[in-house]
Amino acid sequence: MKQVIDFIKFNPTQNMTILVKTNHPIEEYKHIASKIMSYDSVYAEQVGFIEKPVKNEAAAHLQMAGGEFCGNACMAMAAFIAFEKGLSQNDLTEILLEVSGADQLVMCQVKRNLDEYHCQVTMPIPKKIEQRTIKYDGSDLNMIIVRYHEFIHIVVEVDGFSETVREKAQSLAKLLGVTLGVSLIAILLYKSKSEELAPLIYVPHLDSMIWERGCGSGTASIGAYLAWKNKGEIVAKIRQPGGTMNVVANCHEGELISLKIEGFVGIVAQGKAFIDV
């Protein structure tokens, strides 16, 4: 027996994202997501579900399949609302969203640019940023821990993205997923000289581990780390396999006071998917 899923698929910096438009019980989200994002279905890196918001000022509630927060999915959701509104070329709109993994409403600015949407998202401020050195795999590992409300990002500065470095990152993500009990672990391999990012995202609830081609939340964490490290405001273009995302972060007297990311979103497909119940 097949279940029919209404979906729309987006391309935010090649971090392919599916948003499900039909209503489903929340206990089915994990199954639907794992099926629809697989190679033999619609295929994507992540899945979110569009729900009605609790707060009147929010345009929609975005619930990610693993309960995580996702910056690129916020951009996709905002682009979809702008598309539904019929936003004209070069017009700008502001959209407030309720989003899983965030304890406050998320502000998105959207501008129509030919067939794409330029989005700016005001990101959640990390609860804490700290530097740690741990013994891992027989050697010292220097890392920056960026803690959020329900997820943790680990920034590791590297000289290159070799297979060995990637395998160690995957093992670390699995280990932290078991021990920390959060909705998402990101290992962000960062080459500071060239401002390049290789983002690994692990969602324990879905047992989903993906080297993303573009990561909005990871871009924000790199910006937060750089502002914290430099004790001031930074503007950076973070290069990733799928393209470049911009981040603006401001740190005042040791506290992050603002964090925004910018990128482009394309709408690439819309239709019905048929998955096994």
Same structural domain, 9 and 114: yes
**Cα separations in angstroms, 125 against 39, 40, 106, 113, 146:** 34, 37, 11, 28, 10
Same structural domain, 42 and 93: yes
CB distance 260 to 227 below 8 Å: no
Task: Compute the distance between CA of residue 251 and CA of residue 245 in angstroms, rounded to an integer.
Answer: 20
Task: Compute the distance between CA of residue 173 and CA of residue 186 in angstroms, rounded to an integer.
Answer: 7
Kindly report, residue by residue over 48-84, the tens digit of the pLDDT: 999 999 999 999 999 999 888 999 999 999 999 999 9
Task: Compute the distance between CA of residue 81 and CA of residue 62 in angstroms, rounded to an integer.
Answer: 12
**Cα separations in angstroms, 103 against 82, 100, 243:** 24, 8, 29
CB half-sphere exposure, 258, CA atoms < 13 A: 13
Structure confidence at residue 137 (pLDDT) = 78
Residue 272 main-chain phi, psi, to 5 deg = -120, 135
Residue 208 is part of a domain; what is its CATH number?
3.10.310.10
Same structural domain, 89 and 165: no
Task: Compute the distance between CA of residue 54 and CA of residue 72 in angstroms, rounded to an integer.
Answer: 22
Same structural domain, 27 and 144: no
CB distance 198 to 171 below 8 Å: no
Same structural domain, 206 and 111: no
Task: Compute the distance between CA of residue 33 and CA of residue 12 in angstroms, rounded to an integer.
Answer: 18
Same structural domain, 256 and 270: no
Same structural domain, 142 and 109: no
Q: Based on the structure, what is the number of domains in the chain?
A: 2
Structure confidence at residue 99 (pLDDT) = 96
Same structural domain, 102 and 137: no
- What's the first-to-final CA gap in the chain, in angstroms? 6
Same structural domain, 74 and 6: yes
Same structural domain, 158 and 194: yes
- Domain holding 92, by residue range, is 2-119+265-276
Same structural domain, 197 and 175: yes
Structure confidence at residue 134 (pLDDT) = 86
Same structural domain, 136 and 200: yes
Global pTM?
0.92
Stretches in the chain below the pLDDT threshold 70: none
